[in-house]
């Protein structure tokens, strides 16, 4: 038996198909790939069958199996008893310690792998991976300003939040260094007067950070459960 590695790239071309599939569907399986968020290798096996009666090889048989990347296999889904924020937070935590450079962050989270600030790309990717029914803008935008303004329009943004305004999986909007002047991170918890977050492009990595609840650097929070 011979094993061949068949990589399915985002928006990739499949030679078993006659056209480019615009949404990244894999002909060899029914599940769509996650655009911009990951690379999923699959294995297929080619096994020619020997025909004893005629001493010939019969028509080859194919056995397909799919090996997903660890984050895809363990990806939490939104269940009826599981809030969107909780799912986003669990997805985000799965990247802590695994993304440690801007190049890696852009490759995994930024549209087309573009070299750019990627804190919002990380958050948008976590929205996308949650499979929740939220407006597409929250799954696609690279701009913290766009995400914040859309949340304001939908009544899902709180300025200068207090402890009871913050929930696990909410998106904390803080002072940033990029062109937007904003940084975003995913709220983990509020404890002892501090807000703990998981964010991308924090020291060029995905890592945990904390802010004083009354810090002037904390601008507001997008309450994710109000978006679904």
Domain end call among 51, 71, 91: 71
**3-class DSSP state for residue 162?**
coil
- Using an 8 Å Cβ cutoff, are 8 and 41 in contact? yes
Domain that holds residue 40: 2-71
Residues 92 and 32 occupy one common structural domain:
no
Residues 63 and 132 occupy one common structural domain:
no
Distance CA 95, CA 99 (A): 6
Residues 150 and 93 occupy one common structural domain:
yes
Residues 202 and 107 occupy one common structural domain:
yes
Chain position carrying tokens 């305004």:
165
Distance CA 123, CA 101 (A): 17
CATH number for position 183: 3.90.1720.60
Residues 51 and 163 occupy one common structural domain:
no
**171 is written with which tokens?**
């998106």
Residues 25 and 113 occupy one common structural domain:
no
Domain end call among 71, 88, 112: 71
Residues 113 and 180 occupy one common structural domain:
yes
Stated as kind and residue range, the H or E segment containing 221 is strand 218-222
pLDDT tens track of the chain, all 228 residues? 444 444 444 443 344 433 333 333 333 333 343 445 644 333 334 444 444 444 554 455 444 444 444 443 344 433 333 589 999 999 999 999 999 999 999 999 999 999 999 999 999 999 999 988 899 999 999 999 999 999 999 999 999 999 999 999 999 999 998 888 999 999 999 999 999 999 999 999 999 999 999 999 999 999 999 998
Give how many domains the chain has, as a whole number.
2
Residues 64 and 83 occupy one common structural domain:
no
Distance CA 156, CA 136 (A): 15
Residues 185 and 97 occupy one common structural domain:
yes
Distances (CA, A) of 135 to 57, 94, 131, 154: 54, 24, 11, 10
Q: Are strands 157-159 and 61-65 parallel, antiparallel or unpaired?
A: unpaired
φ, ψ at 147 (rounded to 5°) = -65, -45
Stated as kind and residue range, the H or E segment containing 4 is strand 2-8
Question: What pTM was estimated for this model as a whole?
Answer: 0.67
Domain end call among 30, 49, 71: 71
pLDDT recorded at residue 39 = 40
**118 is written with which tokens?**
């990627």
Residues 117 and 24 occupy one common structural domain:
no
Residues 66 and 80 occupy one common structural domain:
no
| Strand order across the beta sheet in which 61-65 lies | 2-8, 40-47, 61-65
Residues 144 and 191 occupy one common structural domain:
yes
């Amino acid at each position: 038996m011979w094993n061949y590695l068949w990589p399915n790239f985002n928006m990739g071309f499949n030679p078993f198909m006659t056209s480019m599939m615009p949404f990244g569907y894999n002909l060899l399986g029914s599940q769509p790939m996650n655009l911009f968020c990951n690379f999923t290798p699959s294995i297929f096996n080619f096994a020619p069958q020997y025909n004893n009666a005629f001493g010939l090889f019969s028509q080859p048989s194919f056995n397909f199996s799919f090996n997903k990347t660890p984050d895809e296999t363990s990806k939490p889904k939104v269940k009826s008893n599981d809030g969107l924020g909780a799912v986003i937070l669990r997805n985000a935590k799965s990247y802590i310690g695994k993304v440690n450079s801007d190049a890696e962050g852009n490759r995994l989270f930024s549209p087309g792998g573009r070299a750019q600030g990627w804190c919002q790309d990380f958050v948008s990717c976590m929205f996308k991976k949650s499979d929740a029914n939220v407006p597409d803008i929250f799954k696609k935008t690279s701009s913290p300003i766009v995400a914040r303004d859309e949340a304001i329009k939908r009544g899902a943004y709180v300025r200068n939040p207090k402890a009871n305004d913050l929930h696990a999986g909410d998106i904390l909007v803080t002072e940033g260094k990029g062109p937007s002047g904003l940084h975003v991170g995913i709220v983990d918890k509020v404890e002892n007067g501090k807000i703990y977050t998981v964010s991308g492009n924090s020291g060029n990595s995905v890592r945990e950070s904390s802010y004083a609840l009354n810090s002037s650097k904390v601008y507001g929070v997008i309450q994710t459960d109000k978006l679904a």
